[in-house]
Structures are given as structure tokens and as C-alpha cells.
Amino acid sequence: MSLQVTSQQVSSNGGRKLEVIVAGDEGSARLDRVLAQRTPELSRSRLKALILAGSVTVKDAVVRDPAYHVASGDTIIIDVPEAAPAEPKGEDIALDIVFEDDDIIVIDKPRGLVVHPAAGHATGTLVNALIAHCGNSLSGIGGVKRPGIVHRLDKDTTGLMVVAKNDHAHQSLTAQFADHGRTGPMERGYMAFAWGVPNRPHGTIDAPIDRHPHAREKMAVRQGGREAITHFEVLSSFAGRDGKPVASLLACQLETGRTHQIRVHLAHLGHPLMGDSVYGAHFKTKAGQLGAEGKHALTALDRQALHAYLLALEHPRTGELLRWESPLPEDLLLLERALAAAV
């Protein structure tokens, strides 16, 4: 293929905006394969990251699926941001520190904070804040972009996270997270506001999780996926305007730690998280069953209603059992009160 980039210009983010027009013999080919041929200066992994990050448009529409099939004559625009530094820099970002010693630091993560640098989030992450706070003491096992990180919370999930400050702590915590309390003391508990009420007061969702077959930024329950187990208990239920149950507050505990696990499992159960625009979008009309206060609180929430309230682990050096609990943040307290008000 001799034809490559059709044109390029400076992008608003300081990078480059590349334009590719699909040639006749490329029609019906996969998007990632066409771009790999036409932009050899960008690696396949870089192209995939740009597609998943929403930096590629086809016919003026964002396409996030690398397997999307283009048509002859389609115009593809790739927004390539300016290269970010190889190593993240420390930034003065306030942290809610629950516990800290020479080995670990436990924080109560707020909504909106991305854990580590990635496509679209090169700065302003938890890692940037930790580098500023801890200096060079963070574990290097996670790599330069994820120093000390042994587990993650989604950007808009709030709650407790532990970070390793040295390699010994990192190895111990990684082993504990891999075990997830099967033989050790680790516990990870979440408060989840879900649509509807499960038909039993407590239960276990044992369903494997893998990448969604079509929407690659999502996860899904799939045969052959990685083992995923979530335990839940119904703490309370909330009635709608008609007096019938419309939502519930669940306590969830993880026995495995897959990406988006609780969000995927509750949606699979038929009770997606309130406010979850990815896995519960088809439940938006349910908001019409809420009272005025409930509608307002849900709109103001503008995120999935999930909070990591419990974290228990064995201290990596002393062996002491440590346990922390985090109360519901203000936005979820407002939602709980509004749901309880019913009308």
C-alpha cells in the first residue's frame, strides 16, 4: 500500500490530527488494520489505545471498536495528542489519607480521580498525587506509570484504596489481592445502590467476565472468561411513587477482582447500578418511578452509585490485621435520603 496519510494538521491538544481516506481496495477492512497500514509511524498498540480512547472518528462519528469495518471513501480522523512524558510527575493534589506508615498508604478516593496515567488522562491522577506526597518511596514493581498500585477503583467509584510504598509491601499486597480472602484475612466491601430489588436477601453471583465482544471498552459476562465471584446482601429497599420497590442498597463483597466486576455482575443479575451510564443505560426510564427528591438526587449524582466502604488486610511487614471503613460520601448520602423519602 503506497497511499498513506492524506493530510495532517496541528491538533488543539498540541499534537497532530491525521486524515486518512479509505481507498477502494481497503473497503470492508478492519479499522485498526487500515490505520496500521496507512500510519506506519504509529505502533499497533498505540493505534488501539487511541481508538479505545475515542480519538478516532469515521465519517465524523467517534468509533471505539478496533474491529469496526470501514467502507471505501470513508474519511478517518486520528487525533494524536502531544507525546506525554515517559514518567508521570508529582502534582499537588489533595489526598484523604486514612492510614500511612513506611510500608503502605490507604486513601479514601474521591469521585472523578483516575488512578494512574492512561490515554486521555496523562496528568491529574492518583499516581501524580502519590508521587508528590511520597517522593521516591513508592514501589517500583508496578512500572513507571503505576508505582505502588496493586488494585484500582473506577474513576467515578469512591472509597478505600491501598498503595504499596516499597517492593516488599507490593509483593505481599499483590498476593493478598490474588487470594481475595479465600485463605487470608483480606476483605473488600462495597455499598451499591441498584435498580430494583433482588429476589433473595443475599446471594452469590458466579459468572465469568471478559471483554465485551463488540464494545471493547466494556466488560461482559462471557463463557470462557476469567472467574468472577461477587457476594451480595440486600440492606434496604426503596419504594417508588406507586409504592412498589424501585431500588435497593446492597452490600457487596468481592471474591475476585475483575475490571468493572460489580457493575457487570449486578447488570447481569438484572439490577444495574443507579447512575451507571455504561451498564445501566437501558434503565434510565426507571427514574420516572422515583419521587421528585429521588430524581433530583440521581441527576445530581451523575456517576455510578458505588462506594468501596470496607478494606481489611494483613500488614505486609507486621502481619497485623488492619481494617478500615469509609462512610458514604455526601452525594450517595443525599441519594439514600431522597430514596427513603419515596415521594
For residues 138 and 60, membership in a common domain is answered with no
Decide if pLDDT at 2 tops 60.
Answer: no
For residues 38 and 58, membership in a common domain is answered with yes
Average pLDDT over every residue of 317-321: 96
- Strand-pairing partners, residue 238, are 247
Average pLDDT over every residue of 208-215: 89
1 is a domain residue: no
Residue at which a domain ends, from 156, 179, 202: 179
| Predicted pLDDT at 265 | 98
For the record, the C-alpha cell of 178 comes out as: 490474588
For residues 170 and 221, membership in a common domain is answered with no
280: CB partners within 8 A, 6+ apart: 195, 267, 272, 273, 274, 304
| Predicted pLDDT at 117 | 75
By C-alpha distance, which of 117, 101, 191 is closest to 149? 117
The count of structural domains within the chain is: 3
Decide if pLDDT at 1 tops 50.
Answer: no
- Strand-pairing partners, residue 310, are 189, 325
Give the pLDDT confidence of 57-77 residue by residue, as tens digits: 999 899 999 999 999 899 999
Q: What percentage of the chain reaches a pLDDT higher than 90?
A: 62
* φ, ψ at 137 (rounded to 5°): -85, -10
2 is a domain residue: no
By C-alpha distance, which of 259, 261, 263, 258 is closest to 274? 263
Classify residue 80 by burial, with Cβ atoms within 10 Å: 0-12, 13-18, 19+: buried
Average pLDDT over every residue of 329-342: 94
| Predicted pLDDT at 84 | 55
Band of residue 229 on the pLDDT scale cut at 50, 70, 90:
very high
Residue at which a domain ends, from 65, 80, 95: 80
Q: Report the C-alpha gap between 203 and 41 in whole angstroms.
A: 51
Domain CATH code at residue 15 = 3.10.290.10
For residues 221 and 301, membership in a common domain is answered with yes
For residues 295 and 339, membership in a common domain is answered with yes
Average pLDDT over every residue of 257-265: 95
| Predicted pLDDT at 266 | 98
Average pLDDT over every residue of 173-195: 92
Identify whether the C-beta of residue 296 lies closer than 8 Å to the C-beta of residue 211. no
Question: Which three-class secondary structure state does DSSP give residue 25?
Answer: helix
For residues 233 and 341, membership in a common domain is answered with yes
Q: Report the C-alpha gap between 88 and 54 in whole angstroms.
A: 22
Average predicted confidence (pLDDT) for the chain: 89
Q: Report the C-alpha gap between 113 and 101 in whole angstroms.
A: 23
For residues 209 and 332, membership in a common domain is answered with yes
| Predicted pLDDT at 45 | 80
Q: Report the C-alpha gap between 261 and 267 in whole angstroms.
A: 10
For residues 191 and 235, membership in a common domain is answered with yes
The residue that leads in pLDDT, 311 or 24, is: 311
Give the pLDDT confidence of 6-37 residue by residue, as tens digits: 766 655 556 788 999 988 777 778 999 999 88
| Predicted pLDDT at 10 | 55
Q: Which domain holds residue 68?
A: 7-80
Residues acting as catalytic residues: 154
Q: How many CA atoms lie less than 13 Å away from 301 in the CB half-sphere?
A: 32
For residues 269 and 130, membership in a common domain is answered with no
Q: How many CA atoms lie less than 13 Å away from 313 in the CB half-sphere?
A: 26
237: CB partners within 8 A, 6+ apart: 197, 245, 247, 248, 249
By C-alpha distance, which of 342, 257, 246, 261 is closest to 304? 261
For residues 63 and 151, membership in a common domain is answered with no
For residues 73 and 112, membership in a common domain is answered with no
| Predicted pLDDT at 104 | 96
Q: Report the C-alpha gap between 267 and 283 in whole angstroms.
A: 10
